[in-house]
């Protein structure tokens, strides 16, 4: 049974008189912490205030289809719940499960409200007002910030996906017409009396051609098309200038045309060359469709990796993979004036952590770097091994930060950006993810033209998931 000396040893109760501590004991009760047993459940009414006297609890939240550890209560005086003392709709924000045997003081929320009003009336009113106002402001601000950020990223990704998707759609339409032309030239070849042997010779010549590619010099392309067009026109080939463009892209020259004229003489020459040109077009369009769909697949795979939508929240993390997916998602912000330099260390180990949260850190640091450079400069992303840790460094060539800004960079709610700018994830939250959630460190080194944010993550951070 809890006694007065037990509460006197808890730092939270410093300043309370013995009679006040006795009222806490009389109004509450002792609950034993049993490893593995649940004391309260996320989402239930927060009807009680819980204070750790000794022992420890683990806090977890249900995110998606799994329970994610979000913190620990392992220091005497750590408390949770009791929200209904000031909010009739208050619920527990996490589930508490015993880790190390011990005891907690459990006090009904209405009793907490009564004692606070009697002992500290002004403070109780401040807490009630602060709780309601802060919750309302924070919820509204985070929702708005999240929607702005989501809208910005979604618009950029939609643009990124729209380009290859649109190219694939256009190529598919052109491919349909090219196939129709291919079938028409086959019909004309059959009507011209082309024999099977002659067709075999023609196909052998076609196979000598390379894949369709554009010449690097437009003037050279125009000259070669004019040369082939003149030859085709003199040979009486239909639509000579249309065929010339397709044939030049496959590397056709006049000598090759002469070989075809020998293999398919007379009326068969025109449909034969038309058939070759159509096969080149079909091959070119198929390559465009293949490249466009590959790009769409890469974008979807990158988004999937960035969001970690099909993976456990806590796992062994490849930092390079997370950084690459972040750069892909941030692609619209990086062009056209930002040059990205990747310096991946060859011996960087996997780290124990939560890739979804780390990707948020990378997003914030990259976004800050782009803003610092005003969209023009060099962004260098480096990974390297450092003893029993891995280091990620994000460097930009922007104007840098003043000494005051650098000193306050990791303060909560501090920002140099206007409303609607940035990712909505402050550096203080990035610091919490790195330091509190992963047991690492984050620091900034800055001078004009060279600002570096350096994140150090332990390879084994499984014991660092603090609240």
Residue that wins the pLDDT comparison between 211 and 457: 457
Q: What is the mean pLDDT of the chain?
A: 82
pLDDT of residue 138: 46
Round to whole Å and give the CA distance between 176 and 184.
Answer: 13
The residues with which 40 forms a beta bridge, in sequence order, are 96
pLDDT of residue 428: 77
Task: Quote the tokens at residue 376.
Answer: 């023009």
Confidence check: pLDDT of 419 > 60: no
Q: Where along the chain do its domains lie?
A: 4-119, 163-295, 312-458
pLDDT of residue 425: 47
Smallest CA-to-CA distance from 326 within 296, 294, 356 is with 356
Range in 79-83, 135-139, 250-254, 295-299 the model is least confident about: 135-139
pLDDT of residue 405: 77
Mean pLDDT of 56-70: 80
Percent of the chain's residues with pLDDT above 70 = 83
How large is the angle between the packed helices 319-329 and 355-372, nearest 10 degrees? 50
Task: Quote the tokens at residue 311.
Answer: 């993976």
Confidence check: pLDDT of 424 > 50: no
Q: Name the CATH topology of 4-119.
A: Jelly Rolls (2.60.120)
pLDDT of residue 129: 52
Residue 157: pLDDT band (50, 70, 90) is: low
Smallest CA-to-CA distance from 465 within 434, 431, 436 is with 436
- pLDDT 10s digits, 79-129: 888 877 777 777 888 899 999 999 999 999 889 888 888 887 655 554 555
pLDDT of residue 273: 92
Confidence check: pLDDT of 280 > 70: yes
Confidence check: pLDDT of 149 > 50: yes
Confidence check: pLDDT of 162 > 50: yes
Range in 27-31, 61-65, 167-171, 265-269 the model is least confident about: 61-65
**Residues present in the chain in total:** 467
How large is the angle between the packed helices 218-234 and 254-263, nearest 10 degrees? 30
pLDDT of residue 97: 94
Confidence check: pLDDT of 380 > 90: yes
Reported for 183-186, long-range contacts at CB under 8 A and 24+ positions apart, including other chains, are 185/271, 185/272, 185/274, 185/275, 185/278, 186/275
pLDDT of residue 417: 52
Q: Which of 32-36, 366-370, 409-413 has the highest mean pLDDT?
A: 32-36
Smallest CA-to-CA distance from 141 within 386, 437, 420 is with 420
Secondary structure string (H, E, C) spanning the chain = CCCHHHHHCCHHHCCCCHHHHHHHHHHCEEEEECCCCEEECCCCECCEEEEEEEEEEEEEEEECCEEEEEEEECCCCCEEECHHHCCCCCECCCEEEEEEEEEEEEEEHHHHHHHHHHHCHHHHHHHHHHHHHHHHHHHHHHHHHHHHHHHHHHHHHHHHHHHHHHHHHHHHHHHHHHHHHHHHHHHHHHHCCCCHHHHHHHHHHHHCCCCCCCCCCHHHHHHHHHHHHHHHHHCCCCCHHHHHHHHHHCCCCHHHHHHHHHHCCHHHHHHHHHHHHHHHHHHHHHHHHHHHHHHHHHHHHHHHHHHCCCCCCCEEECHHHHHHHHHHHCHHHHCCCEEEEEEECCCCCCEEECHHHHHHHHHHHHHHHHHHCCCCEEEEEEEEEECCEEEEEEEECCCCCCHHHHHHCCCCCCCCCCCCCCCCCCHHHHHHHHHHCCCCEEEEEEECCEEEEEEEEECCCCCCCCC
Residue 353: pLDDT band (50, 70, 90) is: confident
Task: Give this prediction's pTM.
Answer: 0.47
pLDDT of residue 291: 85
Q: CA Rg, the chain, in Å? A: 35
pLDDT of residue 421: 43
Q: Contact at 8 Å (CB) between 55 and 102?
A: yes
- pLDDT 10s digits, 301-315: 666 666 554 455 578
312-458 CATH pick, 3.20.20.70, 1.10.3720.10, 3.30.565.10, 2.40.50.100: 3.30.565.10
Smallest CA-to-CA distance from 85 within 52, 114, 118 is with 114
Range in 206-220, 289-303, 314-328 the model is least confident about: 289-303
pLDDT of residue 137: 42
pLDDT of residue 99: 94
Smallest CA-to-CA distance from 288 within 212, 347, 396, 378 is with 212
- pLDDT 10s digits, 222-263: 988 899 999 998 988 888 888 898 898 888 899 999 999 988
How many other C-beta atoms can be found within 10 angstroms of the C-beta atom of residue 363? 23
Q: Which of 144-148, 319-323, 359-363 has the highest mean pLDDT?
A: 319-323
Task: Quote the tokens at residue 411.
Answer: 């303060």
Confidence check: pLDDT of 56 > 90: yes
């Amino acid at each position: 049974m809890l006694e007065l000396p037990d509460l006197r040893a808890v730092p939270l109760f410093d300043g309370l008189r013995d009679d006040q501590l006795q009222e806490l004991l009389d109004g509450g009760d002792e609950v034993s912490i049993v490893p593995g047993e649940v004391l309260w459940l996320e989402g239930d009414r927060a009807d009680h205030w819980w204070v750790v006297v000794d022992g420890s609890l683990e806090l977890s939240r249900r995110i998606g289809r799994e329970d994610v550890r979000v913190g620990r209560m392992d220091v005497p005086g750590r408390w949770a719940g009791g929200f209904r003392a000031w909010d009739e709709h208050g619920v527990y924000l996490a589930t508490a499960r015993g880790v190390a045997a011990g005891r907690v003081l459990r006090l009904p929320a209405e009793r907490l409200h009564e004692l606070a009003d009697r002992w500290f009336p002004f403070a109780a009113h401040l807490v009630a007002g602060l709780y309601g106002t802060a919750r309302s402001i924070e919820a509204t601000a985070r929702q708005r910030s999240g929607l702005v950020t989501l809208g910005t990223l979604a618009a950029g990704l939609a643009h990124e996906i729209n380009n290859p998707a649109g190219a694939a759609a256009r190529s598919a339409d052109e491919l349909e017409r090219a196939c129709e032309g291919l079938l028409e030239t086959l019909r004309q070849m059959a009507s011209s009396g082309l024999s099977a042997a002659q067709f075999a010779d023609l196909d052998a010549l076609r196979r000598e051609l390379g894949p369709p590619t554009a010449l690097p010099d437009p003037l050279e392309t125009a000259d070669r098309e004019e040369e082939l067009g003149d030859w085709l026109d003199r040979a009486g080939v239909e639509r000579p200038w249309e065929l010339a463009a397709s044939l030049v892209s496959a590397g056709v020259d006049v000598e090759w045309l002469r070989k075809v004229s020998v293999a398919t003489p007379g009326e068969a020459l025109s449909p034969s060359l038309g058939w070759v040109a159509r096969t080149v077009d079909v091959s070119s369009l198929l390559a465009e469709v293949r490249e466009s769909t590959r790009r769409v697949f890469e974008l979807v795979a990158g988004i999937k990796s960035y969001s970690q939508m099909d993976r456990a929240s806590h796992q062994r993390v490849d930092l390079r993979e997370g950084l690459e997916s972040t750069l892909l998602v941030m692609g619209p912000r990086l062009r056209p004036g930002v040059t990205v330099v990747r310096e991946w260390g060859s011996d960087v180990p996997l780290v124990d952590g939560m890739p979804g949260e780390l990707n948020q850190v990378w997003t914030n640091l990259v976004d800050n770097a782009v803003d610092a450079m005003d969209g023009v400069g060099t962004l260098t992303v480096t990974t390297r091994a450092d003893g029993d840790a891995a280091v990620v460094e994000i460097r930009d060539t922007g104007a840098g930060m003043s000494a005051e800004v650098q000193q306050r960079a990791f303060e909560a709610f501090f920002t140099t950006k206007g409303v609607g700018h940035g990712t909505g994830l402050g550096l203080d939250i990035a610091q919490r993810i790195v330091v509190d959630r992963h047991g690492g460190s984050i620091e900034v080194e800055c001078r004009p033209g060279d600002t570096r944010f350096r994140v150090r993550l332990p390879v084994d951070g499984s014991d660092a998931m603090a609240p």
